[in-house]
Amino acid sequence: MNRLIFIIGVVCLLTTGAIAQLETVRLRVDSTGIGVGGYYQPGSWTAMLLTLENPSPQPRKVICEWSVPDADGDTVQHRRWVTLGPGPGNVQQAWLYAMLPVGISPQASAQVRVMEAGTDETLTTTQARVLAQVTVPLPKRLAMEQRPIGIVGSSAGMMGLRPYETLPTQHEALLLIGGLEPSQLPDRWYGLAMLQTLIWTPSAGDPGAMEVSEVSRQALREWVKRGGHLVVILPSEGDAWPRSPLRDILPIESDQIRKIEEIDRYEFSMSQAGPVTIALTARQIGSPLHGMLKVVDSAGRVLV
């Protein structure tokens, strides 16, 4: 009889352990998923990409929380409610955003946890049951005076912009952040707030592709409307931007595309000898607008 009770007790313990394991949530946060391309800048909004998996056979509503100290020494809890689909292998991603204080320590870490949400969105974190938590070191830190430029798609060679990072005549220090994936763009405009300029290269492909979520496109559109500079490098053929969902943020709207059979062509070779003139056409004195620099040949044709 005692042996039977012992066996029943062991079975109950094993069963309880299996249920507890099913009730957990798998959480992963990489340093490269914090900020933009693994960079963050104190005093600016910073994005964080969470990868979540719910092994439970039932959907689960959870609270994702990122705790950040503020300038007063208090802790600000940035939260997002997420509904996770059921089943192992059903991996979902969610974004969190936090304003990192200017005085944050370079050795600071990001503390993230996932809690059971239940049905009450006013539930406090002291009442919620923690399902997963991680502590991740913050990625590379940008100085306050640096102005980052993001490059979506392949950044091989950085398009010749690399020498400008160390050019001593610039008013601001420049940093190029390359290799950004279109599918990993944040879903809120302030996830791009630290960028001054975003360059979309031909290798980034169609902005209307399925890999780019609609919320990410809307975030990019909002970022541009709020003053962000989007630079689109057009491919040699097959330009998808005029037909993409983001065509409304282009500076012009094309109503037709036609092939030009014959155009005047001017070939310029360094082997050709000939004088050139560099003329600076200034705007009206006192005007804040930029001047215009032209390089013309001896015939008066504009080369640059």
Query: Which spans in the chain are helix H?
Result: 2-22, 214-225
Residue 112 pLDDT > 80: yes
> What pLDDT, on a 0 to 100 scale, did the predictor assign at position 188?
96
Question: Which CATH number among 3.40.50, 3.10.20, 1.10.10, 3.30.70 corresponds to the domain 146-249?
Answer: 3.40.50
Give the C-alpha separation, 200 to 209, whole Å.
14
Residue 268 pLDDT > 70: no
Kindly report the pTM of this predicted structure.
0.72
> What pLDDT, on a 0 to 100 scale, did the predictor assign at position 263?
52
Section 84-110 average pLDDT: 90
Neighbours of 79 (CB within 10 A): 15
pLDDT tens sequence across 68-77: 988 788 888 9
Give the C-alpha separation, 57 to 22, whole Å.
8
Q: Which residues pair with 91 in a beta bridge?
A: 53
> What pLDDT, on a 0 to 100 scale, did the predictor assign at position 225?
93
**Phi and psi, residue 148, nearest 5°:** -80, 145
> What pLDDT, on a 0 to 100 scale, did the predictor assign at position 88?
83
Q: Does domain 24-137 have CATH number 2.60.40.1930?
A: yes
DSSP E strand stretches across 91-145: 91-99, 109-116, 130-137, 140-141
Q: Which residue has the higher pLDDT, 49 or 122?
A: 49
Which of 127-141, 142-156, 221-235, 280-294 has the least mean pLDDT?
280-294
Q: How confident is the model at residue 123 (pLDDT cuts 50, 70, 90)?
A: low
> What pLDDT, on a 0 to 100 scale, did the predictor assign at position 255?
59
Which residue shows structure tokens 């313990």? 13
Which residue shows structure tokens 């719910």? 54
Which of 38-52, 139-153, 239-253, 286-300 has the least mean pLDDT?
286-300
> What pLDDT, on a 0 to 100 scale, did the predictor assign at position 106?
85
pLDDT tens sequence across 210-236: 999 999 999 999 999 999 999 998 888
Helix (H, G, I), strand (E, B) or coil at 70: coil
Domain boundaries, the chain: 24-137, 146-249, 266-304
Q: How confident is the model at residue 298 (pLDDT cuts 50, 70, 90)?
A: low
